[in-house]
């Protein structure tokens, strides 16, 4: 089962919110999973009425809101992840004062805004041949040939990876797709399983890459398929591995809402690859990194676009219920 709110309470870091409460000056305390999210959403809140804080992930956000509740008014905004896929009848977070993002995560919520992603990609668009007087860009040519937007294409190709993420989260398989260290986050090398010339995904290469990283070779899902020689697999371990892999293959046949399934960081990594030659030509020192693209999205995501989200509507309802004004008024374009 996925990490529900009760489990997240137990996994929180026990955030000390004493300083936040002491300095809140009757402001609403808003907690987020990361500094980037706190910075993004602070743009949509009334600074005179809201104080935004970053915490160490979902569990810490939930715990911080609970610890603040008796001393101040507090809310938390967290990524929905797979919650709406696991419980389709539950659209909004059932825990008081905790709100889910639209889509899988904050990045996907921004990417779903056509105006936002079009604005970002417009600045990186390049003509097929700069020497020829024509207007079609590489991105337009790619989308015409594939009869879908580059974003839809990436989500479609990411499907096997997204489903493995889903299976791992749903069944507590603990397959690692990134690790956190002193120098930041280490991700998989997406170029090992994506063809940068076509943006096609290789499931076999993907599974080999995941297995070889972050001690995943010891995960029951990969046992018995070691790159190097290892202790012979027991019958019980083989049975467990086969059951896990069968469950994965079964889920691959199911239909999912890709906006709820796909991880935003995966999309940004693949989009970064696409900008190295397929839909633009930014390489080496000019490379447009996933972090750069995430910042571009944040800068392009307007209050008007945020105002179209279900999250915005939920926050408006909260305002009316609590009698506290927190949202920045949205001006008409």
Strands 28-32 and 74-78: parallel
199 Ramachandran zone, left/alpha/beta (phi>0; psi -120 to 50): left
Is 279 found in the same domain as 180? yes
One domain, residues 159 and 198: yes
- 304-316 tens-digit pLDDT: 999 999 999 999 9
Q: Is residue 328 part of a domain?
A: no
Q: Kindly report the pTM of this predicted structure.
A: 0.90
134 and 166 assigned to the same domain: yes
Asked if residue 177 belongs to a domain, the reply is: yes
Is residue 50 a contact partner of residue 30, using CB atoms and an 8 Å limit?
Answer: yes
Whether 141 and 13 share a structural domain: no
Query: Which residues, in sequence order, are bridge partners of residue 180?
Result: 185
Whether residues 147 and 280 fall in one domain = yes
Structural domain contains residue 249 = yes
Coil vs helix vs strand at 76: strand
Q: Which residues pair with 128 in a beta bridge?
A: none
Distance (Å, rounded) from C-alpha 247 to C-alpha 68? 41
Please indicate, yes or no, whether residues 131 and 271 belong to a single structural domain of this protein: yes
- The string of pLDDT tens digits covering residues 257-311 is 999 999 999 999 999 999 998 998 887 668 899 999 999 999 999 999 999 999 9
DSSP string, 12-48: S-----HHHHHT-TTPEEEEESSHHHHHHHHTTB-TT
Q: Are residues 155 and 268 in the same domain?
A: yes
Give yes or no: residues 224 and 122 share one domain. Answer: yes
Contact criterion met (CB below 8 Å) for 55 and 15: yes
Looking at the fold, whether 148 and 193 belong to one and the same domain comes out as yes
Q: What is the number of structural domains in the chain?
A: 2
- Is residue 43 a part of any domain in this protein? yes
259 and 118 in a common domain: yes
Range of the domain at 272: 108-300
Do 181 and 250 have their domain in common?
yes
Same domain, 121 and 39: no
What digits encode the pLDDT tens for the residues 17-76?
666 655 666 899 999 999 999 999 999 999 999 999 999 889 999 999 999 988 899 999
């Amino acid at each position: 089962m996925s990490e529900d709110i009760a489990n997240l309470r137990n996994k929180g870091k026990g955030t000390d919110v004493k300083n936040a409460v002491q300095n809140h000056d009757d402001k609403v305390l808003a907690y987020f999973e990361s500094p980037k999210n706190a910075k993004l959403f602070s743009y949509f809140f009334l600074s005179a009425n809201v104080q935004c804080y970053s915490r160490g992930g979902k569990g810490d956000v939930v715990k911080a809101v609970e610890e603040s509740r008796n001393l101040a008014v507090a809310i938390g905004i967290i990524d929905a992840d797979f919650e709406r896929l696991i419980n389709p009848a539950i659209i909004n977070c059932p825990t008081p004062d905790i709100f889910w993002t639209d889509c899988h995560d904050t990045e996907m919520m921004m990417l779903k805004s056509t105006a936002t992603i079009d604005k970002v990609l417009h600045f990186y668009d390049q003509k097929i041949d700069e020497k020829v007087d024509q207007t079609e860009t590489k991105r337009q040519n790619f989308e015409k040939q594939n009869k879908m937007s580059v974003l839809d294409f990436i989500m479609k190709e990411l499907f096997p990876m997204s489903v493995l993420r889903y299976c791992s989260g749903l069944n507590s398989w603990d397959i690692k797709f990134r690790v956190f260290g002193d120098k930041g986050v280490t991700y998989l090398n997406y170029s090992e399983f994506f063809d940068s010339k076509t943006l096609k995904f290789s499931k076999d290469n993907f599974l080999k890459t995941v297995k070889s990283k972050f001690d995943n070779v010891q995960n029951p899902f990969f046992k018995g398929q070691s790159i190097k020689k290892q202790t012979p697999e027991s019958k019980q371990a083989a049975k467990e591995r086969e059951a896990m892999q069968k469950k994965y293959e079964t889920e691959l046949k199911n239909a999912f809402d890709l906006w709820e399934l796909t991880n935003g960081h995966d999309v940004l990594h693949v989009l970064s690859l696409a900008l190295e030659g397929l839909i633009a030509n930014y390489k080496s020192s000019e490379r447009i990194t996933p972090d750069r693209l995430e910042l571009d999205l944040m800068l392009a995501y307007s209050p008007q676009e945020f105002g179209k989200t279900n999250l915005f509507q939920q926050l408006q309802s909260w305002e009316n219920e609590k009698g506290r004004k927190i949202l920045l008024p949205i001006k008409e374009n």
